[in-house]
Amino acid sequence: MSSDLWSFSLDTYARPGVEDACLQLQSAGVNVCLLLCGLWLGQRGVACNEQRLQQLRDVVTPWDADVVRPLRALRRQWKADAAEDAELNTLREQVKTLELEAERQLLLRLERLAQGWPQDETNDLSTWLEGMATGAANLDRDALHQLRVAVTGT
């Protein structure tokens, strides 16, 4: 298992079924960076509690609203036109790169926040996943299960 959150996220996202599960959950309003962080913390044995969940949300909410979502919206807005316009497609790819970098920076912020949290306290990955997905509309529990299986194999 990767020790840093960014490497863990890349490794996890590349596993079969994870990308689709993340995109389904993202469509329901779940922040994928939070989900990946929850998986990472759960794998490390960090206990999930409401205070930690809130601290993580407090980091994610402004960064996601002010940085990640505007980049994602612009990238999506240009998708159809970029298929017909090579220069616009080049710009769209640059925006996509910026969006990914913004997510990497968010994961670094989350990792720094959780750095001092005790590890090897528990192995309840489901609590982290449920906590990260709280409040999502039409939550796809099968997608959450797919993420848990991708990380634990069970």
31-86: per-residue pLDDT in tens? 999 999 999 999 999 999 999 999 999 999 999 999 999 999 999 999 999 999 99
Residues 6+ apart with CB under 8 A from 53: 131, 132, 134
Instruction: Give the pLDDT confidence score for residue 2 in this predicted structure.
Output: 52
Instruction: Give the pLDDT confidence score for residue 1 in this predicted structure.
Output: 41
Instruction: Give the pLDDT confidence score for residue 19 in this predicted structure.
Output: 93
Nearest to residue 9, comparing CAs of 49, 90, 31? 31
Instruction: Tell me how many domains the chain contains.
Output: 1
The residue that leads in pLDDT, 1 or 97, is 97
Residue 91 belongs to domain spanning = 5-152
When mean pLDDT is compared over 11-25, 117-131, 137-151, the highest value belongs to 11-25
User: Could you tell me the pTM of the whole model?
Assistant: 0.91
